[in-house]
């Protein structure tokens, strides 16, 4: 079970409280987790990554295990502690003014 | 008894203001979508309980929200705006070709006849349409595919399609306006388009007769006189008496012919409203006096409407989508400011009072007259 933490605005959009738990088949990568997230919550399509290119939106970051994974390849394996559910995969809205 | 519902989009959420036909006591509901920019909210003329809102964020992109109960509850619908076919390029600020990139929806215009059909004007400038209540959106690519598309260039506010007018007397005729490309007309329900900018004069472009490149801020039209169009341009207020084939200036005695909104009285087709703003960079009312100007002659002769509006130390702006009129008699006029006030007049502009004073910066105001 993969644990995903969403920022407040996306929790509101998806109508969820707290963490999201996902079953991810096959290798656990950023792409696989986000694909599973968007299947469960279609309203999040386009809110984290581009609809077509699947590129991460500029002011969204991905953290796990106290590391910034935002620039890792989408198909790179996520840390073992994320795969085991010991640590969450965090979707974070970047600090910005306004 | 009639009621009015004022839909307010702000930098940090949406608000729904309601009153009876007297328009003296107001109920304020919101914020909806707290923390998100709400560029525009508009109700369907065919089903006033059906509302659409453009919700957008620099972090999380675009959402379209739909309400089926007049704004009490909302549901997100489709948010995929993909340009049709080869995306192509427009001009960037440095004159180089730049690929079209979707940024946000500026304006939503529900169909006059069908609550499930809505037009969306977007940045980078293009026109989209849904026919399934917002679930899916498809570009009307003939506009961007018009031969001039590669010459369009963003203004300082972005290259946005901000005005969509439907001709109630001719369902095949539509008008749109783009900053900073100009005004366009379709006579075949949006399949093909022609620029309608003859007579516009813009110091910011070298060729005054260029078919595109003019920074049109807003168009307005009375539903009973659809060959007559009014325009607030970056500078100049203009009128066309032939559906945009040619334009002439009607700025007359305005203290500044710069501004953003322009609106037409619902019962008097020659009565129009503008809100002069000082520019080119200040973007606040001249002399710190917030004044609406009304012309009863289709322009040229303008009367300042000031009763109830601040006449000193006022330095707010009124954006292009932030003015609207109800259709009661006498008609109500409403506008919102970047200072968070929404002012209302229940007597066609003769006097004003704020409905609310301290909202986030107002991006859009639309009013619905309800039976």
Per-residue pLDDT of chain B (371 residues; tens, 9 = 90+): 799 999 999 999 999 999 999 999 999 999 999 999 999 999 999 999 999 999 999 999 999 999 999 999 999 999 999 999 888 999 998 889 999 999 999 999 999 999 999 999 999 999 999 999 999 999 999 999 888 889 998 888 899 999 999 999 999 999 999 998 999 999 999 999 999 999 999 887 888 888 899 999 999 999 999 999 999 999 999 999 999 999 999 999 999 999 999 999 999 999 999 999 999 889 999 999 999 999 999 999 999 999 999 999 999 999 999 999 999 999 999 999 999 999 999 999 999 999 999 999 999 999 999 98
Find the angle CA(A28)-CA(A33)-CA(A35) to the nearest 5 degrees.
125
B102 is written with which tokens?
Answer: 């979707």
Domain residue ranges in chain A: 2-93
Asked if A60 and B60 come within 8 Å (Cβ–Cβ), the reply is: yes
Facing A51 at nearest CB: one of B60, B63, B80: B80
At residue B260's C-alpha, the angle toward residues B255 and B264, to 5°, is: 90
d(CA A88, CA B115): 43
Residue B237 to residue B231: CA distance in whole angstroms: 6
Which of B271, B311, B321, B272 has the alpha carbon at shortest distance from B291?
A: B311
- B11 interaction partners in chain A (CB closer than 8 Å): 98
> Which fold does the domain A2-93 belong to in CATH?
Ubiquitin-like (UB roll) (3.10.20)
Length of chain B: 371
Q: Report the pLDDT value the prediction gives residue A97, as an integer from 0 to 100.
A: 62
Q: Which residue in chain B has the smallest CA separation from A51?
A: B80
Tokens (6 digits) for B360: 């986030």
Q: What is the DSSP letter of A66?
A: T
Place of tokens 């007579």: B199
Q: Does B60 touch chain A (CB under 8 A)?
A: yes
CB contacts, 8 Å: B122 with chain A: none
Say what the pLDDT of residue B291 is.
98
Would you call B62 an interface residue with chain A, using a CB distance cutoff of 8 Å? yes
ipTM: 0.94
B34, B53, B59, B139, best to mutate vs chain A, most A CBs in 10 Å: B59
Q: How far is B20 from chain A (nearest CA, A)?
A: 33
Q: Considering only CB atoms, which chain A residues are within 8 Å of B36?
A: 9
Could you say which of B36, B61, B76 has the minimum Cβ distance to residue A57? B61
How far, in whole angstroms, is CA A10 from its chain's centroid?
Answer: 11
Per-residue 3-state assignment (H helix, E strand, C coil) for chain B = CCEEEEEEEECCEEEEEEEECCCCCCEEEEEECCCCEEEEEEECCCCCCCEEEEEEECCCEEEEEEECCCCCCCEECCCCCCCCCCCCEEECCCCCEEECCCCEEEEEEECCCCCCCEEEEEECCEEEEECCCCCCCEECCCCCCCCCHHHCCCECCECEEEEEEECCCCCCCEEEEEECCEEEEECCCCCCCEECCCCCCCCCCCCCCCCCCCCEEEEEEECCEEEEEEEEECCCEEEECCCCCCCEECCCCCCCCCCCCEEECCCCCCCEEECCCECCCCCECHHHCCCEEEECCCCCCCEEECCCCCCCCCCCCCCCECEEECCCCCCCEEEECCCCCEEEECCCCCCCEEEECCCCCEEEEEEEEEC
Q: Is the pLDDT at A98 greater than 60, yes or no?
A: no
Calpha distance B318→B261 (Å, rounded)? 7
Q: Which residues of A touch B62 (CB under 8 A)?
A: 46
Residue A52 with chain B: CB contacts under 8 Å: 82
Cβ contact, residue pair A60, B80, below 8 Å: no
Residue B156 is predicted with a pLDDT of 82
Q: How far apart are CA B87 and CA B4, in angstroms?
A: 42
Residues B52/B30, Cβ–Cβ less than 8 Å? no
Tens of pLDDT, residue by residue over A76-87, are 999 999 999 999
Q: Which residue has the tokens 């003014």?
A: A97
Percent of chain A as helix, strand, coil, to the nearest 5: 25, 25, 50
CA–CA separation, B124 vs B106, rounded Å? 10
B85 touches chain A (CB under 8 A): no
Structural tokens at position B226: 């659809």
Identify residues of A whose CB sits under 8 angstroms from chain B CBs.
7, 9-10, 13, 43, 45-48, 51-52, 57, 59-60, 93-94, 96, 98
Cα B62 versus chain centre, distance? 19
Rounded to the nearest angstrom, the minimum Cα separation between B40 and chain A is: 19
Segment A66-72 mean pLDDT: 96
Q: Dig out the tokens for A83 from the structure.
A: 């795969």
Cβ–Cβ of B79/A98 closer than 8 Å? no
Please name the member of B36, B58, B82 whose beta carbon is closest to the beta carbon of A59. B58
Cβ contacts (< 8 Å) between B79 and chain A: which residues? 45-47, 51
Quickly count: other Cβ atoms within 10 Å of residue B278's Cβ. 18
CB pairs under 8 A between A and B: 41
Per the CB < 8 A criterion, the answer to whether B62 and B55 are in contact is yes
Q: Chain B: residue nearest A46 by CA?
A: B61
């Amino acid at each position: 079970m993969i644990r995903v933490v969403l920022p407040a605005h996306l929790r509101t959009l998806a109508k969820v409280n707290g963490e999201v738990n996902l079953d991810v088949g096959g290798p656990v990568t950023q792409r696989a987790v986000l694909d599973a997230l968007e299947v469960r919550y279609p309203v999040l399509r386009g809110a984290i990554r581009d609809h077509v290119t699947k590129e991460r939106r500029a002011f969204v970051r991905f953290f796990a295990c106290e590391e910034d994974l935002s620039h890792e390849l989408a198909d790179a394996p996520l840390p073992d502690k994320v795969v085991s559910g010991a640590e969450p995969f965090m979707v974070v809205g970047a600090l910005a003014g306004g | 008894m009639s009621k009015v519902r004022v839909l307010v989009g702000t930098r940090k959420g949406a608000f729904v203001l309601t009153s009876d036909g007297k328009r003296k006591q107001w109920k304020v509901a919101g914020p909806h979508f707290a923390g998100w920019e709400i560029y525009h909210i508009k109700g369907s003329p065919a089903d006033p309980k059906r509302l659409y809102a453009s919700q957008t964020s620099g972090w999380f992109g675009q959402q379209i929200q739909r309400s089926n109960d007049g704004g009490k509850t909302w549901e997100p619908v489709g948010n995929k705006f993909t340009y049709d076919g080869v995306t192509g390029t427009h001009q960037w600020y440095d004159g180089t070709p730049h690929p079209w990139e979707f940024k946000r929806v500026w304006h939503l215009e529900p169909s006059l006849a069908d609550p499930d059909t809505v037009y969306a004007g977007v940045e980078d400038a293009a026109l989209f349409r849904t026919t399934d209540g917002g679930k899916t959106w498809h570009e009307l690519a003939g506009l961007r595919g018009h031969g001039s598309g590669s010459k369009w260039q963003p203004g300082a506010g972005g290259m946005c399609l901000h005005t969509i007018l439907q001709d109630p007397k001719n369902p095949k005729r539509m008008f749109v306006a783009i900053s900073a490309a100009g005004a366009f007309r379709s006579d075949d329900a949006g399949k093909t388009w022609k620029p309608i900018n003859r007579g516009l004069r813009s110091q910011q472009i070298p060729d005054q007769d260029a078919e595109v490149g003019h920074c049109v801020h807003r168009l307005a039209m009375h539903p009973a006189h659809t060959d007559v169009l009014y325009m607030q341009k970056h500078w100049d207020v203009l009128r066309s008496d032939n559906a945009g084939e040619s334009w002439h200036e009607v700025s007359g005695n305005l203290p500044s012919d710069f501004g953003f909104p322009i609106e037409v009285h619902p019962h008097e087709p020659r009565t129009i409203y503008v809100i002069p703003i000082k520019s080119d960079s200040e973007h606040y009312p001249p002399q710190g006096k917030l004044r609406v100007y009304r012309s009863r002659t289709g322009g040229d002769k303008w009367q300042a409407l000031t009763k109830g509006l601040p006449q000193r130390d006022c330095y707010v702006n009124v954006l292009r989508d932030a003015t609207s009129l109800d259709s009661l008699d006498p008609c109500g006029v409403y506008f919102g400011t970047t200072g968070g006030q929404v002012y209302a007049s229940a007597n066609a502009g003769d006097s004003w009072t704020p409905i609310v004073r301290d909202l986030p910066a107002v991006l859009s105001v639309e009013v619905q007259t309800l039976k």
